[in-house]
Amino acid sequence: MSELTDEIRRRRTFAIVSHPDAGKTTLTEKLLLFGGAIHVAGAVKSNKIKKTATSDWMEIEKQRGISVATSVMGFEYDGYKINILDTPGHRDFAEDTYRTLTAVDSVIIVVDTAKGVEAQTRKLMEVCRMRKTPVMIFVNKMDREGKDPFDLLDELEQELQISVRPLSWPIDRGVKFKGVYNIYEKKLDLYTPSKQKITESIAFKDVSNPELEKYIGTDLAGQLRADLELIEGVYPEFDVNTYLKGDAAPVFFGSALNNFGVKELLDCFVHIAPSPRPVTAEEREVNPEDAFAGFIFKIHANMDPNHRSCIAFLKICSGKFERNTNYKHVRFNKMMKFSSTTAFMAQKKETVDEAFAGDIVGLPDTGNFKIGDTLTSGEELHFKGLPSFSPEMFKYIENADPMKAKQLNKGIDQLMDEGVAQLFINQYNGRKIIGTVGQLQFEVIQYRLLHEYGAQCKWEPIGLYKACWIESDSPEALDNFKKRKYQYIAKDKQDRDVFLADSNYVLQMAQQDFPDIRFHFSSEF
């Protein structure tokens, strides 16, 4: 086998997704701890050391305690190269998460044992189902009171529409939580609450062995045997191929905050999770071993607040990427080379000379990239599936400081390229309208414009119901529509026509009255 095949096979690129507060960032951090990528968890909140979670580094995230941008982290573990993408759980940032899911080969879903499956998790699971992405589930916070594990498994199957198979099983829960039995490796893991230490585990092949009582007592031993028998009876044998096809999800139990059950998840994950898989481009299916190709799935302005720099995140789909080599920017049809390519450990960056299919590298961006752009070693390829969705909230953005108009325009431009929100320019009065999927994005935009660009903006209300992209095969029909609805026509950043409907009724009437016009609710058409 070639070096390329070896390198690709040891890559594991995945996203951690969940509802806010299920413990996703904590889990990410514990995984980094095992990879030796960080040495002290951000959960250390003593007065002397003020640390926040490694993957939440934007100022506003530290203040709010939520993740608003996807972070990328890579580390080595047990001979594997692992790339984690930590995604925002908050629904106002769902779009960033959907795009991230296009750049990973598998997903770990974190579920809070007390709350079970929540709305946001369901929506993300739909995206995984559409793309047939393999999923693993980590049931977190077992050291707190929560639902009965069997009820939880039923809920997971029902709500996420996927069959599940427990690979570890909790021994009691809440304050009486004793640990888990690792079905996958046939071991007993006993729980000692500690945020820094890793739990002891005992090889325990045969649960009918009376030794079990010594560790967990008579009642729990009996209960565990009964539970395991029930699991064997009810759930099919775990089969790696059903998992890889996206039809079954292995389930692990633990407590990320107390470092419990995380290593078991990681050990099983590196063995069964897929290495980079073929990606479908418009032209053909791209195999990981083909010549270099990759796409930009995210653009982030100001990763370093002292330098106004944008970084474009490139997901490598195939081949090997080398620094200072000429690659083709397909949309511009020109060759470009990159001397400072970076790999990430949250915002700590290091320059990399080479990267392989499955890796994610950062390229300095001076306005060359848009989300969805393709770089290749020469071939014309276009990767699909990076949609922008029709926004649901709208406001006029106005300049609050006439001296800073230039800064404001630059800031809006960069933040929109980043995919934070969408910009529409009303063709009737030339005003700028920002469309988002949630209220919180307006606050983030205002905050970042002020702190990163020194520009002050103010918001003005506008009563809109939906923005949809319009097109038609007949130029006259399109022209006629734009004349009739001239007050409601805008252009987006790519200069495409957008119809701004101020109510559901208006939108339905427009769809009825203008049969030659096609109305799209996602920018990918």
pLDDT tens digit sequence for 98-113 = 777 778 889 999 998 8
Rounded to whole angstroms, the Cα distance separating 97 from 70 reads: 7
- Site of tokens 């909790």: 170
Alpha-helix residue ranges (DSSP H) falling in 259-367: 262-272
Q: What is the pLDDT of residue 341?
A: 78
Structure tokens at 509: 């009437």
pLDDT computed for residue 344 by the predictor? 63
Secondary structure letter of residue 69 according to DSSP? S
What are 138's strand-pairing partners?
110, 252
Tokens of 475: 């130029």
Tally the C-alpha atoms within 13 A of residue 21's C-alpha that lie toward its C-beta: 8
Q: Phi/psi at 351 (nearest 5 deg)?
A: -75, 135
What is the distance between the terminal CA atoms of the chain, rounded to a whole angstrom? 41
CA 258 to chain CA centroid, nearest Å: 24
**Mean pLDDT on 263-277:** 88
DSSP per-residue string spanning 90-129: SGGGHHHHHHHHTT-SEEEEEEETTTBS-HHHHHHHHHHH
Q: Which of 102-106, 307-311, 469-473 has the lowest mean pLDDT?
A: 307-311
Q: How far apart are CA 55 and CA 388, in angstroms?
A: 25
Q: Is the confidence at residue 156, as pLDDT, over 70?
A: yes
Mean per-residue pLDDT for 317-343? 86
Check if the beta carbon of residue 387 is closer than 8 Å to that of residue 98. yes
> Rounded mean pLDDT of 138-147?
87
Amino acid at 329: H
Mean pLDDT of 491-514: 89
Backbone angles phi, psi at 70, to 5 degrees: -75, 130
- Residue 255 phi, psi dihedral angles, 5° rounding: -135, 105
User: Which ranges constitute the DSSP H helices of 174-274?
Assistant: 211-216, 218-234, 240-244, 262-272
Domain ranges in the chain are 3-175+239-272, 279-376, 393-520
Q: Which CATH superfamily is domain 279-376 in?
A: P-loop containing nucleotide triphosphate hydrolases (3.40.50.300)
- Comparison of pLDDT for 291 and 421, the residue scoring more: 291
> Per CATH, which fold does 3-175+239-272 belong to?
Rossmann fold (3.40.50)
SS3 8: helix
Under the banding of pLDDT at 50, 70 and 90, the label for residue 53 is: low
Q: Which of 192-196, 257-261, 370-374 has the lowest mean pLDDT?
A: 192-196
278-302 residue pLDDT tens: 888 888 888 889 899 988 888 776 5
- Determine contact, residues 89/126, Cβ cutoff 8 Å: no
Could you tell me the pLDDT band of residue 67, with boundaries at 50, 70 and 90?
Answer: very low
- Cα–Cα distance measured from residue 422 to residue 241, given in angstroms and rounded to the nearest whole number: 40
pLDDT value, residue 143:
82
Most confident of 68-82, 295-309, 358-372: 358-372
For residue 136, pLDDT over 90 is answered with yes
Tokens of 218: 């008579």
Retrieve residue 264's tokens.
């078991």
Report which of residues 90 and 76 the model is more confident about.
Answer: 76
Equal fold, 3-175+239-272 vs 393-520: no
Tokens of 89: 């759980």
User: In terms of Cα–Cα distance, which of 394, 393, 424 is closest to 523?
Assistant: 424
Mean pLDDT computed over 208-224 = 75
CB 407 within 8 A of CB 453: yes
- 393-520: what fold? Alpha-Beta Plaits (3.30.70)
Going by their DSSP bridges, the two strands 106-112 and 11-18 should be labelled as parallel
Tell me which of 95 and 521 has the higher pLDDT: 521
Q: Beta-strand (E) ranges in 391-477?
A: 393-399, 422-426, 432-436, 457-461, 466-472
Helix H or strand E encompassing 478? helix 475-484
In Å, what is the CA distance from 448 to each residue of 60, 61, 392, 479, 484?
Answer: 8, 11, 21, 38, 38
Residues 474-483: what's their mean pLDDT? Answer: 91
